[in-house]
Structure 1
Amino acid sequence: MNKTISAEDLNIHFKHNDDAALFKWLLASFLMGKRIQAEIAAEAYRVIADKHGRDTPSKLAACSHRELVAMLGEAHYVRYDETTAVRLHALARKLNDEYAGKVSHMVEASADRQAFEKRLAEFDGIGPKTVEIFMREAGSAISL
């Protein structure tokens, strides 16, 4: 059975509309939202954000596809490494291009929680499971 991994387990601590923590949790939620063991997804987050310091949308967007695949491989996140690398890159670019790299700008652009969740789901690779994981922890940190 998969253990539920919390933001705290990944050393992510939310303050009100804290963009750094919101993005880190979005990245972790994205990785955990796939059909992959939670611990492998958590390790992929640690490798990307902690070990390699790709913990902001601009730093993640600056990665090459090959670098992202290598980081995912380092964490044994190999089942979906190619598509995940493409989608992580797209996630970072879209966040940078449409929301100036800030999850809080997505919050501000949303009338309510439902509208925010709809915006999240517009990112390639983010489905209902990823939205659910993200909102489970971040819901109280964003004001909607």
Structure 2
Amino acid sequence: MQDRQIILTRLIAAPAAKVWQCWTDPAILPRWFGPEGYSCVTKEIDLQQGGLWRFDMIGPDGKIWANRHRYTLFDPLKRLEFLLDGDDDSAPPMEVVVVLEAEADSTRITQTMTFPSVEMCQGALAFGADRLGQTTLAKLEAAAQKL
């Protein structure tokens, strides 16, 4: 399975409660989510287990990517899981697991993205998903520190 995964980790200088709030507050999540230079326009948002977030991610060049997160697990302050796709059922979704672990006054976040195929994972890596994902986590840290 490792050849189908991208794993991002970062020590965020904010407590787990603030990091969790950034993931689960519908007013906050769209403001930080996505790589540096990208923005999100929400179509529908229900941040809870069994809920979903439908949005367009807009790149710095104006390109638009439809997204849908279907939340399958909320374990407050510890873990959330969701299925990620292009806001339709034309292809199998990516599985995303986000784990938060308190470390003193900080939070270690580990985000594991499991792609349906090796080819899809390789395509994401070729696009720079690992590097872009780190900029997303930096935006998360900045958002959590402002709370």
Q: Work out which of the two has the higher radius of gyration on C-alpha atoms and give 1 or 2.
A: 2
Report the TM-score when normalising by structure 2: 0.38
**Structure with greater strand share of residues:** 2
Report the TM-score when normalising by structure 1: 0.38
